[in-house]
Amino acid sequence: MDNFEARLERFAATLPETRRHLHRYPELSGAEFATTAYLSERLAQAEVPHRVGQGNRGVIAEPATAARSSGTPLIALRADIDALPIEEANPVEYRSRHPGVMHACGHDAHTSILLGLTLSLHRAQGLPVTWRAIFQPSEEVGQGALEMIRQGALTGVEAVVALHVDPNRPVGTVGVTPGPRTAWCQDFAIEVTGRGGHGARPHNTVDPIAASAHLITLIYQALPRQNDARNPVVVTIGAIQGGHASNVIPDRVSLKGTVRSIDQPTAERAHDCLQRLCASAAQAFQASVAPAFEPLLPGLVNEPAVAKICAGAARELLGEAAVATDDRVSMGAEDFAEYTRLVPGCMISLGVNTPGRPITPLHTPTFDIDERALLIGARLLARVLLRWPSASLSH
C-alpha cells in the first residue's frame, strides 16, 4: 500500500493541473476531439497502451500490471469526458475559454482522477487485479457508454467502477449505496400538427396550441393518477415551441419532455400512458399528435458485492463516519447504467463541497469543486483495485 500511496503522491500536484486544463477547454458531447487527443498524448508520453475510440472520441487504456496472469479479475474504471452547453459564471483563472460550454457536471474532475491514476499505477507491481481505464464521451446525451461498449470496453471485464462528484457532500466524504441509484429515463418529443389560420376564426382551423395546452395538462394530471404512488414517476415538459403572432394560429407545435422512474415496469407503463394521452388529445382536437421516444436509458443499480468492496476501501481511507451507504435514489439519469446492466458495477459519489461554502448544484453556471477531492478520488480508486478479492464475484 505504501508503494501505491507514494506513486499517487508523486502525481498529486498534476491532478488539479489536468483538471484545470480540461476545465478551460471543455467540449460538448459528440465533439470531444481535443480532449481525446490530450488524453492520448499524455498516455503515449508515459507509454501506456491505449486505443482511441471511433471518430477520435474517447480512449480505452490498458495500463500494464505485474498481475496480468490468467484468472486474475479484470476491473474497468470509467470516467466521462464531455461538458455541457452552459456559459460559465465563475470568475476563476481556469474558467472556460469556450463560450457557452462548461464542465458543469464535474467530468473534468472524473477524467483527471482517472488519468492521474492510470499514469501513476502504470507498471505498478503487486496489484491483485488487471485493470482498464475507460475515458468515455457523450455521457450527457446518454449515448457514450453504448458507444464504448460496442468498441469492446467491457470485453473480459468482471466489474466496473466509476466516481461522480457530488456538490451536496463535503470533501473528504463519499456515498457508496447498494441498489438502485438513478432513474430509468426516457426523453421524448411530441409533434402536434393542425391547420393554421386566423386567430379570430379558430373554427376554420385545427389549433395545435389549444391541443398542446390540453395535452400538457392531461399528461400532468393523468400520468400520476394512473401510476401506483409507491413507485415514483416524474414527467416534465421542458420545451414548447409554436406560433409567431398574437392573431395567427400556427400549423404546428413541438414539445419536448422527459419521464423518469426507478424501475423498468413503471417506465414502460409511463411510456404506454403517454402514447395513449397523445392519441386522446389527437382525437379530441382532430389534430395529429405524434410522439417520438428516445431509447430508454436504464436506471443505475450498484451491485451489492461491488458496493461492499468500494465501501470497505472508502472506510479504510476516510474513516467510518465519512462513508454514507444509505443515500436516497436520484431521479436523475446516468449512462454508467449501460455498463452495470451488463456487468456488476458501482458508482461512488465523491464529496466536492468545501465546508462552509454555499452549495452550487451540478449543471449550473457557478458549479465548481474543492480540488482536494481529486487526490481523494484517485487514492480511493487505487484502494478499490488493491483490495479487490482474488476470488471471482459470484453473480
DSSP string, 20-32: HHHHHS--BTT--
Q: b/e string for 319-339 if b means 16 or more Cβ within 10 A?
A: eeebbbbebebbbebbbbbbb
Nearer to Zn ion, 166 or 207 (CB): 166
Give me the least distance between CB of 262 and Zn ion, in Å please: 18
Tell me the closest approach of the beta carbon of residue 40 to Zn ion, in angstroms: 22
Asked if 193 and 252 touch (Cβ cutoff 8 Å), the reply is yes
Of the pair 105, 318, the CB lying nearest Zn ion is at 105
**How many other C-beta atoms lie within 10 A of the C-beta of residue 54?**
11
Residue 335, phi-psi category: left (phi > 0), alpha (psi -120 to 50), beta (remainder): alpha
Closest contact distance (angstroms) between CB of 171 and Zn ion is: 18
Cβ 101 vs Cβ 28: under 8 Å: yes
Cβ distance to Zn ion smaller for residue 105 or 373: 105
Which part of the chain contacts Zn ion (CB under 5 A), choosing from 53-61, 105-113, 119-127, 291-299? 105-113
Q: How far is the CB of 363 from Zn ion (least distance, A)?
A: 6
Residue span 39-78 as binding mask against Zn ion, x where in contact by CB under 5 A, dash where not: ----------------------------------------
Q: Which stretch binds Zn ion (CB under 5 A): 99-107, 220-228, 248-256, 337-345?
A: 99-107
Question: Do 322 and 380 form a contact (C-beta atoms < 8 A)?
Answer: no
| Complex with Zn ion: residue 82 or 371, whichever CB lies closer | 82
Question: Which single residue is written with the C-alpha cell 469543486?
Answer: 369
Min separation Cβ 129 and Zn ion, Å: 26
Of the pair 105, 255, the CB lying nearest Zn ion is at 105
Q: Which residue has the CB atom at the shortest distance from Zn ion? A: 105
3-state secondary structure 122-180: CCECCCCCEEEEEEECCCCCCCHHHHHHHCCCCCCCCEEEEEEEEEEEECCCEECCCEE
Q: CB of 105: closest distance to Zn ion in angstroms? A: 3
The C-alpha cell that represents 27 in the structure block: 467540449
Q: Which helix (H) or strand (E) holds 182?
A: none
CB of 319 to Zn ion, least distance (A): 26
Choose the stretch contacting Zn ion; rule: CB under 5 A; options: 19-27, 42-50, 60-68, 101-109: 101-109
Output the CA torsion sign for 274, 275, 278, 280.
negative
Q: What CA dihedral angle connects 26, 32, 37 and 42, to 10 degrees? A: 60
Q: How far is the CB of 106 from Zn ion (least distance, A)?
A: 6
| Cβ-based nearer residue to Zn ion, 105 or 160 | 105
Q: Which of residues 79, 83, 86, 105 is near Zn ion by CB under 5 A? A: 105
Question: If binding is defined by CB under 5 A, does position 333 make contact with Zn ion?
Answer: no
**Contacting positions for Zn ion (CB under 5 A):** 105
